[in-house]
Amino acid sequence: MTEEQPGPGPRFDTSVASIARIYDYWLGGKDNFKVDREAAEEMIQAFPGIVAGVRMNRAFLGRAIHYLTADAGIRQFLDIGTGLPSANNTHEVAQRAAPDSRIVYVDNDPIVLSHAKALLTSTPEGACAYIDADLRNAGQIVKEAAGTLDFSRPVAVCLIMVLQFIPDEDDPWQITRTLMDAVPSGSYLVVAHPANDVDVVVAPALRQLSTRMGGTRALPRSRPEVMRFFEGLEMVEPGLAQLHRWRPGAGVDTGKNLAAYGGVGRKP
Residue 91 located in a structural domain:
yes
If you average pLDDT over residues 20-39, what whole number do you get? 83
> In this structure, which amino acid lies at residue 180?
M
Residue 7 located in a structural domain:
no
Half-sphere exposure of 96 (CA within 13 A, CB side): 11
Residue 189 located in a structural domain:
yes
Residue by residue, what is the 3-state secondary structure of 197-247? CCCCCHHHHHHHHHHHCCCCCCCCECHHHHHHHHCCCEECCCCCEEHHHCC
40 or 154, which is more confident?
Answer: 154
Measure the CA–CA gap between 200 and 75, rounded to whole angstroms: 39
Question: In the prediction, which pLDDT does 49 show?
Answer: 76
Measure the CA–CA gap between 138 and 86, rounded to whole angstroms: 25
Is the CB of residue 19 less than 8 Å from the CB of residue 108?
Answer: no
Question: In the prediction, which pLDDT does 10 show?
Answer: 46
> In this structure, which amino acid lies at residue 106?
V
First to last CA, the chain: 45
Check whether 118 has a pLDDT greater than 90. no
CATH number of the domain to which 196 belongs: 3.40.50.150
- Tens-place pLDDT, residues 197-256: 998 877 777 777 766 666 678 899 999 999 999 999 999 999 999 999 999 975 556 668
Is the CB of residue 114 less than 8 Å from the CB of residue 120?
Answer: no
- Tens-place pLDDT, residues 155-201: 999 999 999 999 999 999 999 999 999 999 999 999 999 999 998 87
Domain residues for the domain of 150 are 19-233+258-266
Question: In the prediction, which pLDDT does 1 show?
Answer: 40
The total number of structural domains that make up the chain: 1
Residue 241 located in a structural domain:
no
Measure the CA–CA gap between 198 and 258, rounded to whole angstroms: 7
The pTM of this model reads: 0.85
